[in-house]
Amino acid sequence: MNIHIKKSTALCLITALIFSLCTSAVNVFASSGSDFKYEVFGDGYIRITDYTGSDSAIGIPSEINGRTVTGIAKAAFSKKTAVTSITIPSSVSEIGDNAFTGCSGLTSILVNSGSLYFSASNGVLFNKDKTVLIAYPNGKAGTYSIPNTVTSIGYSAFDSCKKLTGITIPDSVTSIDVTAFYGCVKLAKLKIPASVDFDSEAAFADCTELTSVKIDEGVSKIGEAVFLGCSNLSDVNIPRSANLIEDYAFSDCISLESIAIPKTVTKIGDYAFGFDLSGAARKPVANFIVYGFNNSTAHNYATANELNFIRLTLGDVTRDEDINIFDIMAVRNYIFGKRNLTQSELLTADATEDGEINIFDIMSIRNHIFGSKLLVT
């Protein structure tokens, strides 16, 4: 009984303390006659929450009414379509998610010299040492090559960059955060380097003009809804290094007519590919084909979802139900640049299952033909 009373008393005291801290943390919310709305914290510091002015080039002040501006709140400048540039003072140490998303005219984000927390280059916002790309201006047009100092592309960093037509992601990047490139409707082609941990929810969702995606060997998983709604995507590969394709990864990619899944994939999530979500009900894309190996995860997924399944056989590149000299010739011509192979043909041509097509695959197919070492088909 005494223990119960003590616990209850302690809980009340903790609750009272938390309430006290919360009520003293933010003392005032006011525009104070300026073009900025803001919160004032108990220690006297200010976080900008909104901009009400009409200037196209905004210089965020380092002080308002004698109080230091240290933060920019979540979505503080969101959808300010007339804004073309924003300059962040060196006093700012915190920038909330989507602070500049929807600023369709924004072409430049600048940071005053002396900042210990942020930097900018060519109008793009980074952390101080340029290892994290924080925000790319929505109105900036053309292609962009991410600097090779960057290891992480931040939350919604390129969200709604509708004028971005191309992106180069360097091998230094290991992380692409949630919705990083959401709604980049002019992005046409994409290459994901092996270094990336691609467990990135909706990272490229609704990139409606994206037609081709190349995922390098080394990528082990493909995140949830990562290409959801990429309605023009028609060419994508799943590398042998992949073992997981999450829910909805390629759902609503209605131009994607087929997909080739290697044996290494051991889990495929719900509605991962082959589904049209545009109506009230989830329905299979008409005539969608899953290419895969017999009794594989891909085979099970196709069967469970009533999708067309075409069985692949290691070494049978020409898919004529026989492994012979024509398969060797197909691989040889591919190696010497005389023939292209589809994604499903590449899986069958990689007889050594090492993720590469080379002379060793020719030797493996040859050995199978002559019976010296049979392929596991």
pLDDT in tens, 23-43: 334 444 444 447 999 999 888
Identical fold for domains 141-312 and 313-377, yes or no, is no
Residues 222-244, mean pLDDT to the nearest whole number? 97
- Tell me yes or no: is domain 141-312 CATH 3.40.50.10880: no
Of the candidate ranges 63-67, 202-206, 299-303, 309-313, the one whose mean pLDDT is the lowest: 63-67
For 314, the 3-state DSSP assignment is coil
Give the Cα separation of 126 and 150 in Å (integer): 9
- Helix pair 359-369, 325-335: axis angle to 10 deg: 180
What pTM was estimated for this model as a whole?
0.88
Q: Where are the domains of the chain?
A: 141-312, 313-377
Q: Percent of the chain beyond pLDDT 90?
A: 85
Q: Do 372 and 364 meet the contact criterion of CB atoms below 8 Å apart?
A: no
Q: Could you read off the pLDDT of 168-210 as tens digits, one per residue?
A: 999 999 999 999 999 999 999 999 999 998 888 999 999 999 9
Report pLDDT for 24: 39
Residues linked to residue 106 through DSSP beta bridges, in sequence order: none
313-377 CATH choice from 1.10.150.120, 1.20.210.10, 1.10.10.10, 1.10.1330.10: 1.10.1330.10
Residue 245 pLDDT > 70, yes or no?
A: yes
SS3 content of the chain, % helix, strand, coil (to 5): 15, 25, 60
Burial zone of 113 (CB within 10 Å; 0-12 exposed, 13-18 middle, 19+ buried):
exposed
Which residue, among 104, 146, 140, 98, has the nearest Cα to 126 in the 3D structure?
Answer: 146
CA-to-CA separations, 180 to 101, 194, 286, in angstroms, rounded: 11, 18, 30
- Average pLDDT, whole number, for the chain? 91
